[in-house]
């Protein structure tokens, strides 16, 4: 099937009034097809993942960066126009991925040392610029991604954030070879990260409140599943908290063995209750946050996905049902990673 030819208008969603998803913060609009800047690509969107960060943008958990923004930063599509200064990396007809990280300055001390995810001037798709809850989207060519073969558009979409941020979280977790990893919350990112860890020889233990997520975790090879705050059956070398629930930091830290690391993977987290030093941190246990990702993280993860097929569970929704998809995500009705098909 060929790419849609861009006309003058397109269907899209906008966050018109950030607030609880039950109050309909999104509005469906007909708007102009965006025009790419000289350094950008225009992409016909085929699929866009539904990420919890989209929910945070819609509900106002994250501050407004662009009024009326179109959410979505797990975009798979086809290049339909290449800006005059976009370089030779992509051509019309190429399959392309658009991810969360959209711009970094390239000159600050963080960029120069390879930590572009910490760039103070960084910009993000679906927050600072319109994203993929639309028929067309733009992306700076330098921040677009080549995609591995062997996956459908729907399977690829969650890899572009859920997969990438989970991969960085795993790096931050300092999991030793053959180590024991605890995963708290088992949604879109977690079910991908678990497969990466298992492929690398880890023993994975999952803590989640959702019965369907527990079933999925066992199907994927988890050694055990427990309730969200229950102790795992063995001390953990590392833990990754995907659920945006600050209260879970305490049981995750308490489950760590000496020298273990607890990583908080989300961009938003509810308040963490007071920690008890002896119970939660003593023994050189530590807590680390994750802030976005670098393009190198993305490339390395997508290379991994090219050689280790990841089974992505993707409940599918039409573009016109984006508000329902976010409502289902908020209510915990999605096992895996939901995807909008355009």
Q: What would the pLDDT profile of 99-137 be if each residue is shown by its tens digit? A: 999 999 999 999 999 999 999 999 999 999 999 999 999
Q: Residue 94: exposed, middle, or buried by beta-carbon count in 10 A (0-12, 13-18, 19+)? A: middle
Question: Mean of the per-residue pLDDT values for the chain?
Answer: 96
Strand 286-289 vs strand 256-264: parallel, antiparallel, or unpaired? parallel
Q: pLDDT, tens digit, for every residue of 118-127?
A: 999 999 999 9
- Residue 336: per-residue pLDDT: 87
Q: What is the DSSP letter of 230?
A: S
pLDDT tens, residue by residue, 307-334: 999 999 899 999 999 999 999 999 989 9
Strand stretches in the chain, DSSP E: 9-15, 26-32, 40-49, 75-82, 95-98, 101-103, 123-124, 136-140, 144-145, 180-184, 203-207, 224-226, 236-241, 256-264, 286-289, 316-318, 339-341
Structural element, H or E, at residue 170: helix 162-172
Tell me the pLDDT tens digit for each residue of 51-77.
Answer: 999 999 999 999 999 999 999 999 999
The CATH homologous superfamily to which domain 164-289 belongs is NAD(P)-binding Rossmann-like Domain (3.40.50.720)
User: Are residues 242 and 167 in contact, defined by beta-carbon separation less than 8 angstroms?
Assistant: no
pLDDT of 216 reads 94
pLDDT at position 196: 98
The percentage of the chain sitting over the pLDDT mark of 70, rounded to a whole number, equals 99
pLDDT at position 37: 97
Confidence check: pLDDT of 4 > 80:
no
List the one residue out of 7, 81, 9, 70 whose CA is nearest residue 43: 81
Strand partners, 124: 101
Per-residue pLDDT, averaged over 181-186, amounts to: 97
d(CA 310, CA 320): 28
Task: Enumerate the domain spans of the chain.
Answer: 9-147+312-341, 164-289
Q: What is the pLDDT of residue 185?
A: 96
CA distance 10 to 224: 46
CATH topology of domain 9-147+312-341: Quinone Oxidoreductase; Chain A, domain 1 (3.90.180)
CA angle 178, 179, 185 (to 5 degrees): 125
Neighbours of 272 (CB within 10 A): 15
Which three-class secondary structure state does DSSP give residue 320?
A: helix
Cβ–Cβ < 8 Å for 205, 181: yes
Over 90: is that where the pLDDT of 1 sits? no
- Report yes or no: 237 and 175 within 8 Å, Cβ to Cβ: yes
Backbone angles phi, psi at 41, to 5 degrees: -110, 145
Predicted pLDDT of residue 3 = 65
Q: Which of 13, 16, 21 is nearest to 70 (CA)?
A: 13
pLDDT of residue 265: 97
């Amino acid at each position: 099937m060929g790419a849609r030819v861009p006309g003058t208008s397109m269907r899209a969603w906008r966050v018109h009034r950030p607030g609880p998803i039950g109050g309909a913060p999104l509005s469906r609009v007909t708007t102009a097809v965006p025009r790419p800047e000289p350094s950008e690509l225009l992409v016909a969107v085929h699929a866009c993942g539904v990420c919890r960060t989209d929910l945070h943008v819609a509900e106002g958990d994250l501050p407004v960066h662009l009024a009326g923004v179109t959410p979505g930063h797990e975009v798979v599509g086809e290049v339909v126009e290449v800006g005059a200064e976009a370089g030779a990396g992509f051509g019309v007809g190429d399959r392309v991925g658009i991810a969360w990280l959209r711009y970094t300055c390239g000159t600050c001390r963080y960029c120069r040392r390879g930590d572009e995810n910490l760039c103070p001037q960084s910009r993000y798709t679906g927050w600072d610029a319109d994203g993929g809850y639309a028929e067309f989207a733009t992306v700076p060519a330098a921040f677009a991604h080549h995609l591995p073969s062997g996956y459908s558009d729907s399977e690829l979409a969650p890899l572009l954030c859920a997969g990438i941020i989970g991969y960085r979280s795993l790096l931050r977790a300092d999991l030793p070879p053959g180590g024991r990893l605890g995963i708290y919350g088992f949604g879109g990112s977690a079910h991908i990260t678990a497969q990466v860890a298992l492929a690398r020889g880890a023993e994975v233990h999952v803590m989640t409140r959702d019965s369907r997520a527990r079933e999925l975790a066992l199907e994927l090879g988890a050694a055990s599943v427990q309730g969200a705050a229950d102790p795992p059956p063995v001390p953990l070398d590392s833990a990754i908290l995907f659920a945006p629930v600050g209260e879970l930091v305490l049981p995750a830290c308490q489950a760590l063995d000496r020298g273990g690391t607890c990583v908080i993977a989300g961009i938003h987290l509810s308040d963490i209750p007071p920690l008890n030093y002896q119970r939660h941190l003593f023994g050189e246990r530590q807590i680390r946050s994750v802030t976005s990702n670098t393009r190198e993280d993305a490339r390395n993860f997508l290379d991994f996905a090219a050689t280790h097929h990841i089974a992505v569970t993707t409940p599918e929704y039409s573009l016109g049902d984006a508000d329902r998809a976010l409502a289902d995500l908020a209510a915990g009705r999605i096992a895996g990673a939901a995807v909008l098909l355009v």
